[in-house]
Amino acid sequence: MNNETVITSDDTITDKIYHIRNKKVMLDKDLAALYDSYRAVKPRSKQES
């Protein structure tokens, strides 16, 4: 992923959730992209440095 900050809206996340056999699921590529965007904006503590 680039070094750009990504803001993800609730609608964008909701659009990535699928209903399969009465279960809510996300594809692994969509979940990975969401996690990467979260890590890009998450503040780091001194312990994580």
Q: Give tens-digit pLDDT for 7-39.
A: 667 888 899 999 999 999 999 999 988 888 777
Instruction: Give the model's pLDDT for residue 7.
Output: 61
Higher pLDDT, 3 or 28: 28
The DSSP bridge pattern shows strands 23-26 and 17-20 to be antiparallel
Q: What is the pTM of this model?
A: 0.54
Cα–Cα–Cα angle for 25, 10, 19, rounded to 5 degrees: 20
Task: Spell out the domain ranges in the chain.
Answer: 1-42
Q: Tokens representing 49?
A: 């440095």
In this structure, are residues 45 and 11 in contact, taking their beta carbons and an 8 Å threshold?
no
- pLDDT-derived band at 45, boundaries 50, 70, 90: low
Instruction: Give the model's pLDDT for residue 1.
Output: 45
Instruction: Give the model's pLDDT for residue 41.
Output: 67
> What's the full length of the chain, in residues?
49
